[in-house]
Amino acid sequence: MTRSLLGLAFRATVGTLVLVAILGPLTSLLIWSLAERWHWPAPFPQQLGLKYWLRMLQGDPLRALTRGVGIASVTTVLALLMSVPVSYLAARRRLPAGPLVLALFVLPQAFPQLPVFASATVLFYRWNLAGTIPGVVLIHLVGGLVYAVWTLTAAFRAVGPELEEAAVNLGASATRTFFRIALPLALPGVAASAILVFLHSLDEFNGTLLVGAPYVTTLPVYMYTASLGYELQIASVTALILMAPGVVLLLLLERFLRAEYLAFFGHL
Amino acid sequence: MSRWERWAWGLATVPAVGVLVAAFGLPLLQSVGASFVREGRFTWENYAIVYRLYRQDVLYTLGVAAGGVALTFGCGIPLAGYLRLRAWPWVEFLLKVPLFVPFVVTGHAMRVFLQPSGTLAAMLTAAGILPPGARLGIGEGWLGLVLALTWKHLALVVLLLVGAFRGVDDSYLEAAQGFGAGTFRQIWAVLVPMSATSVALALVLTLTSMLASFSIPLLMSRGSGPQMLMIDLYYRFGQHGDFEVASALGVVSYVMASGAVYAYLRSVTR
């Protein structure tokens, strides 16, 4: 009896701690985003309202949002088109110079990004890509390709070679087999991969800050500028908009997202 | 595959490889090269400058990352172990939430949460724990950084560890229970040793990510005192326009990340 009471007390304590620790910082974003007037040291804002949310619907923030969505869409399409052949060959162990090529697709995860992106900025200046949208897409493709190749390789591996072997035995060419059998069966994986790449590009900050400066401002860069300028309400509204797609995804797809896909989100 | 098809498929992999070479491989090599050059000549001078100006920041970075890893795993191992042994769906769900919160957003959220007159101070004041008007000092120093980094990384660590722990067969746990092992004994004596490889991998990845963290310290930064290495690199590059010393700082960070590089490469060649 005392044991179960102790267990209950333990669960209540740990549960409360987790709740406060995880939701505390996120709640402060929400409060700040609604605080029209908040003079310290009052524990809560004197006046709440949607003023700063409405301000997001116009001017600079809206431009940053639409530009970011555009960049993310282009990045997603390009990343998927480019990574499908690599992933399919990798899944079937037919990739020329396999381990070497695959190493190229994991190293961006392992190396610190910032020095590499700083160096990329120097190169992009030489190639007239710095401060341009194509330059930002190119830098977003680094992470995007890594995510796409790994999720798609897993997806193609899960399809299994038996059906393809049957098709080949019936006289279909390898390419026809790919388009008629492997690709349709792997479509759920392709969709997951697209979402991942899109969110990566939408939230990407380090590369955009370096390569995009000073002309290309996406939402994360806009949020950074607002936060450093002590426009905490504007920054908090932007922060909530940035995290919204991911959290909605988590709520809707929790049971469908496999752990190996989820793990990729930790790097966003 | 016919010979024609083999060529076509090989050619189709060229764009992806090309992009990574141009936007990652070449810049990586260029930064290593630039770290040994000053005014067009080979020199160790950049590293001498790093030693002179930034050696304390290197130690600070190592300290913050070590603190973050200790706190992350100090919380993550018991939590993941408990979630493996007993179902607790809503806590497992909550712990996943930071996975979807980008690093920059985490930095800003922690800034408004932990700053001296931030929301945490307001909540503690409202709860009567802090006297009215008191300021909280943790957001500005190393502790605020450790808390913010832990908040972001705990989700991934719990996810990886729960996955690894679920791979341990129930029969081992039942045997341990038969000998009278309680929850914590089962975690420490069965789950952790039997998933040692996964735990070590998660540890290396977390450490590297924290050493190379940029947006979180950038958003929580203050003007003075020791800085994280990536902040130094950013200002050296952006404000001083000193790509050579910035590259030397970068190479120092590559060396710090070599554990993760090794772990990732092994996962491909296996």
B112 occurs within a structural domain: yes
| Contact call for residues A120 and B24 (beta carbons, < 8 A) | yes
Contacts of A230 (CB under 8 A, 6+ apart): none
User: Taking CB atoms and an 8 Å limit, are A141 and B23 in contact across chains?
Assistant: yes
Asked if the model's pLDDT at residue B68 lies above 90, the reply is yes
User: Do A119 and A194 belong to one domain?
Assistant: yes
For residue A101, name the pLDDT band (cuts at 50, 70, 90). confident
- Residue B239 and residue B169 share a domain: yes
Whether the predicted pLDDT of A212 surpasses 80: yes
- Is position B17 within any domain? yes
Residues B1 and B124 in one domain: no
Which residue of A27, A112, A142 is in closest CB contact with B230? A112
Which structural domain, as residue segments, surrounds residue B26? 1-34
Same domain assignment for residues B115 and B25 = no
Answer yes or no: do B52 and B7 share one domain. Answer: no
Percent of chain B at pLDDT exceeding 90:
55
Could you tell me the two tokens for B270?
């296996």
A16 with A149, same domain: the answer is no
The answer to whether residues B238 and B264 belong to one domain is yes
Q: Is the pLDDT of residue A92 over 70?
A: yes
Interface test with A, best of B54, B83, B268 (most A CBs within 10 A): B268
- Chain B: residue whose CA lies nearest to A196: B100
**B171–chain A nearest CA distance, Å:** 24
Q: Which residue of B has its CA nearest to A108?
A: B24
Question: Is the same domain home to A39 and A58?
Answer: no
Q: State whether B24 and B114 are in the same domain.
A: no
pLDDT tens for each residue of B69-85: 999 999 999 999 999 99
Residue A94 and residue A31 share a domain: no
Give residues with Cβ within 8 angstroms of A147, minimum separation 6: A79, A193, A196, A197, A200, A264
Q: Do B2 and A174 touch (CB under 8 A)?
A: yes
- Asked if B120 reaches chain A (Cβ–Cβ under 8 Å), the answer is yes
pLDDT at position A264 is 62
**Long-range contacts: B199-203, Cβ < 8 Å, 24+?**
B199/B77, B199/B161, B199/B164, B201/B160, B201/B263, B202/B156, B202/B157, B202/B160, B202/B161, B203/B69, B203/B73
What residues in B contact A227, CB-CB < 8 Å? 107-108, 111, 219
Which residues on chain A are in Cβ contact (under 8 Å) with B267? Answer: 106
Give every CB contact of residue A256 below 8 A, 6+ residues apart in sequence: none
Say yes or no: B8 and B89 in one domain. no
Question: Is A116's Cβ below 8 Å from some Cβ in B?
Answer: yes
**Residue A230 in 3-state DSSP?**
coil
**Statement to judge: residues B58 and B18 lie in one domain:** no
Q: Do A15 and B91 touch (CB under 8 A)?
A: yes
Question: Quick one: A175 and A64 in the same domain?
Answer: yes
- Same domain flag for A109 and A200: yes
- SS (HEC) of chain B: CCHHHHHHHHHHCHHHHHHHHHHHHHHHHHHHHHCCEECCEECCHHHHHHHHHHHHHHHHHHHHHHHHHHHHHHHHHHHHHHHHHCCCHHHHHHHHHHHHCCHHHHHHHHHHHHCCCCHHHHHHHHCCCCCCCCCCCCCCCHHHHHHHHHHHHHHHHHHHHHHHHHCCCHHHHHHHHHCCCCHHHHHHHHHHHHCHHHHHHHHHHHHHHHHCCCHHHHHCCCCCCCCCHHHHHHHHHHCCCCHHHHHHHHHHHHHHCHHHHHHHHHHHHC
User: What is residue A204's predicted lDDT score, i.e. its pLDDT?
Assistant: 94
Letter string b/e over residues B156-177, b meaning 16 or more CB atoms within 10 A of that residue's CB: bbbbbbbbbbeebeeeebeebb
CA angle B160, B164, A7 (to 5 degrees): 90
High-pLDDT (> 70) share of chain A, %: 92
Tell me what percent of the residues of chain B surpass a pLDDT of 70: 97
Which of the two residues, B52 and B87, has the higher pLDDT score? B52
Parallel/antiparallel/unpaired status of strands B41-42 and B37-38: antiparallel
- In this structure, the answer to whether residues B209 and B87 fall within a common structural domain is yes
**Co-location of B65 and B139 in the same domain:** yes
Q: Alpha-carbon distance A48 to B179, whole Å?
A: 58
Which one of A107, A142, A224 has the shortest CB-CB distance to B219?
A224
Burial of A228 per CB tally in 10 Å (0-12, 13-18, 19+): middle
Greater pLDDT, B137 or B56? B56
Residue A120 and residue A24 in one domain: no
- Averaged pLDDT for residues A175-182: 86
Residue A225: what pLDDT?
92
Both B21 and B52 in one domain: the answer is no
Contacts with A44 from chain B: Cβ below 8 Å: 122, 126
Residues forming beta bridges with residue A37, ordered by sequence position: A47
- Kindly provide the ipTM of the predicted complex, given to two decimals: 0.90
B28, B133, B209: residue with CB nearest A116: B28
- On whether both A159 and A81 belong to a single domain, the answer is yes
CATH assignment at residue A111: 1.10.3720.10
pLDDT for residue A1 is more than 60? no
In a shared domain, residues A44 and A105: no
CA distance B214 to chain A (A): 8
Q: What is the mean pLDDT of residues A215-243?
A: 91
CB contact under 8 A, B112 and A232: yes
Grade residue B110 by pLDDT with cuts at 50, 70 and 90: very high
* Predicted pLDDT of residue A37: 81
Q: What pLDDT, in 10s, does the model give residues B190-236?
A: 999 999 988 988 898 899 999 999 999 999 876 678 999 999 999 99
Mean pLDDT value of segment A166-179: 85
> Residue B169 belongs to a domain with what CATH number?
1.10.3720.10
The answer to whether residues A63 and A40 belong to one domain is no
The yes-or-no verdict on residue A43 having pLDDT over 80 is: no
Closest approach of chain B CAs to the CA of A193, in angstroms?
A: 15
- Domains held by chain A: number: 2
Map tokens 């380090």 to a residue. A206
A138: distance to nearest CA of chain B, Å?
A: 7
B257 has pLDDT over 60: yes
Q: pLDDT for B165-191, tens place per residue?
A: 998 999 999 999 888 888 888 999 899
| Number of structural domains in chain B | 2
**Nearest Cα to Cα of residue B200 among B260, B253, B269:** B260
Residue A128: DSSP 8-state: T
What is the pLDDT averaged over residues A168-182?
85
Whether residues A266 and B208 touch (CB distance < 8 A) is answered with: no
Strand partners, A48: A35
Q: Identify the domain containing residue A14 by its residue range.
A: 1-49
**Tokens read off for A239:** 């922060």
| Phi, then psi, of A36 in degrees rounded to 5 | -80, -30
Q: Does residue B247 carry a pLDDT above 70?
A: yes
What is the residue whose two structure tokens read 């393809």? Answer: A164
A30 versus A257: which is more confidently predicted?
A30
B204 CB within 8 Å of a chain A CB: no
At residue A35, the 3 state secondary structure works out as strand
Q: Which of A76-80, A149-153, B121-125 tops mean pLDDT?
A: A76-80
- Is A118 in the same domain as A5? no
Residues B25 and B51 occupy one common structural domain: no
pLDDT of residue A261: 62
* One domain, residues A133 and A34: no
Of B119 and B217, the structure prediction assigns the larger pLDDT to B217
pLDDT beyond 80 at B159: yes
Rounded distance between C-alpha atoms, residue B250 and residue A268, angstroms: 21
Nearest to B20 among A105, A112, A175 (CB): A105
A59–chain B nearest CA distance, Å: 21
Please say if the pLDDT value at position B243 is more than 90.
yes
Sign of the CA dihedral with B193 first, then B197, B203, and B204 last: positive
Residue A91 has pLDDT above 90, yes or no: no
Nearest to B270, CA basis, from B209, B162, B197 = B197
Is the residue at B252 inside a domain?
A: yes
> pLDDT grade, residue B26 (50/70/90)?
very high
From chain A, the residues in CB contact with B265 under 8 A are 103, 106-107, 110
User: Residue B38 pLDDT more than 60?
Assistant: yes
Per the domain annotation, does B41 fall within a domain? no
**Cα–Cα distance between A20 and A104 in angstroms, integer?**
41
Q: Per-residue confidence at B27, pLDDT binned at 50, 70, 90?
A: very high
Residues of A in contact with B112 (CB under 8 A): 25, 28-29, 32, 232, 236
Alpha-carbon gap, residue B238 to B255, rounded angstroms: 22
